[in-house]
Amino acid sequence: MIPVSAKARLTVDLAALAENYRALCRLAPGAQVAGVVKADAYGLGVARVAEALHGAGCRSFFVATAEEGAALRAFLPPGSPALIYVLHGFAGASPRDLAAQALIPVLSTPGDIELLRAHAKAESRALPAALQADTGMNRLGLPPAFLEAGPDLAGVSPVLLMSHLASADEPDDPSNARQRERFRALKARFPGVRTSLANSAGILLGRSYHEDVVRPGIALYGGNPLPGRPSPVHTVVTLEAPILQIREAEPGETVGYGGTHRIEAPARLATLGIGYADGYLRSLGNRGRVMIGGHAAPVIGRVSMDLTVVDVTEIPESVARPGALAELFGPSLAVDEVAERAGTISYELLTRLGQRLARGYPPAPNKASPARRHGMRP
């Protein structure tokens, strides 16, 4: 077997994830903190992420599709009362499919309301659903006017009224307050129904945005909801790759496909075993940087499918040597900085991490590891 140290690897710190969950609970006192775990928990692996969040006390989850919801249900402890909301409603799934896994549809179209009403009638009982209003994003949701007109909801038991903020990551954008006011006007029509408006960045907008349930995703996973400001959360994800080869390069030589980087002075180069197939985006060519033993090394030339070259001229030979690990992002290099250099956001960087990476999950807290049970320090 190939030793893991020879492969590019992704480490997900479940203890930090659980700590972030608790930090968000403190930031939104009085609100319930749901975990958004769509897209395989932003690429980190929903099985382990859901287990850790559940262990930290999370009892409401949001996924995008019914398939994601069914997978999540199986990863939660049997008999858990956790609520699972399906953001896409009945797209590609029937009310029967969702009910079989106790998944709650988020209804965003009159057609979805109609489907649930028909199913409720056939079952002769009211069925739970969330109602999503589009208060200004123009993406997914029912027009507030439609909901205010008192549509026929016979057989639908609304358990949550929700909406989504378009610009929560721009706290000074007046659209935030505008959406909040539209939402408030609407919720007056649904007394007794729990309400939800804020994603990660929305939590940081303050209490007037928290409503009853907040829906963080990226902040749980260590992304800074407001890049450029101090992060309220801990690093969760570390991406590392081994140095496969060190080489000397002379002035006039070029590096990589297309020779897009020209060597100006004698240089030492390190070739890393990671590329765009692993989610280290090609747009980081000649723009990214990595950390090796606490030293920064710039990416030079294009990122290729499986390899990336960095300049280690300034790093001691004892540190930048074959087999040493370079950090692509993690505790010494924020995922948000790397995303910005790549011309994107942390969300895209995380959800595009490749299947080839070796994935590791240090133990979650408040679950005694075998070492701890035997009184040893882990």
Catalytic sites, residue numbers: 38, 257
Interior angle at CA 311, CA 293 and CA 2, nearest 5: 60
**Does the footprint of ligand PLP cover residue 135 (CB under 6 A)?**
no
**Does the footprint of ligand PLP cover residue 217 (CB under 6 A)?**
yes
**Does the footprint of ligand PLP cover residue 346 (CB under 6 A)?**
no
Q: Which is nearer to ligand PLP, 42 or 276 (CB)?
A: 42
Distance, CA of 311 to CA of 295 (rounded, Å): 11
For 188, counting Cβ atoms within 10 Å of its Cβ (0-12 exposed, 13-18 middle, 19+ buried), the class is: exposed
Q: Which is nearer to ligand PLP, 201 or 309 (CB)?
A: 201
Query: Is the Cβ–Cβ distance between 60 and 40 less than 8 Å?
Result: no
Which residue number is nearest to ligand PLP in terms of Cβ? 217
Q: What is the 3-state secondary structure (H, E, C) of 165-226?
A: CCCCCCCCCCHHHHHHHHHHHHHCCCCCCEEECCCHHHHHCCHHHCCCEECCCCCCCCCCCC
Q: Which is nearer to ligand PLP, 200 or 238 (CB)?
A: 200
Q: Which is nearer to ligand PLP, 234 or 287 (CB)?
A: 234
Q: Which is nearer to ligand PLP, 164 or 302 (CB)?
A: 164
Query: Using the rule CB under 6 A, which residue among 33, 37, 87, 270 binds ligand PLP?
Result: 87
Query: Is the Cβ–Cβ distance between 279 and 305 less than 8 Å?
Result: no
User: Hey, which residues between 219 and 248 contact ligand PLP (CB under 6 A)?
Assistant: 219
CB of 225 to ligand PLP, least distance (A): 6
Distance, CA of 91 to CA of 64 (rounded, Å): 10
Query: Using the rule CB under 6 A, which residue among 17, 36, 44, 197 binds ligand PLP?
Result: 36
Size of the site for ligand PLP (CB under 6 A): 12
Q: Which stretch binds ligand PLP (CB under 6 A): 122-130, 213-221, 321-329, 360-368?
A: 213-221
For 344, counting Cβ atoms within 10 Å of its Cβ (0-12 exposed, 13-18 middle, 19+ buried), the class is: middle
Query: Using the rule CB under 6 A, which residue among 144, 216, 242, 256 binds ligand PLP?
Result: 216
User: Hey, which residues between 181 and 210 contact ligand PLP (CB under 6 A)?
Assistant: 199-201
CB of 218 to ligand PLP, least distance (A): 4
CB of 95 to ligand PLP, least distance (A): 21
* Residues in Cβ contact with 140 at an 8 Å cutoff, skipping those fewer than 6 apart: 87, 108, 132, 134, 164
Q: Which amino acid is at 155?
A: G
For 341, counting Cβ atoms within 10 Å of its Cβ (0-12 exposed, 13-18 middle, 19+ buried), the class is: middle
Selection from 77, 74, 88, 80 nearest residue 38 by Cα: 88
Query: Using the rule CB under 6 A, which residue among 215, 263, 338, 364 binds ligand PLP?
Result: 215
Tokens representing residue 277 in the block: 């197939």
Per CB under 6 A, residues contacting ligand PLP are 36, 38, 87, 164, 199-201, 215-219
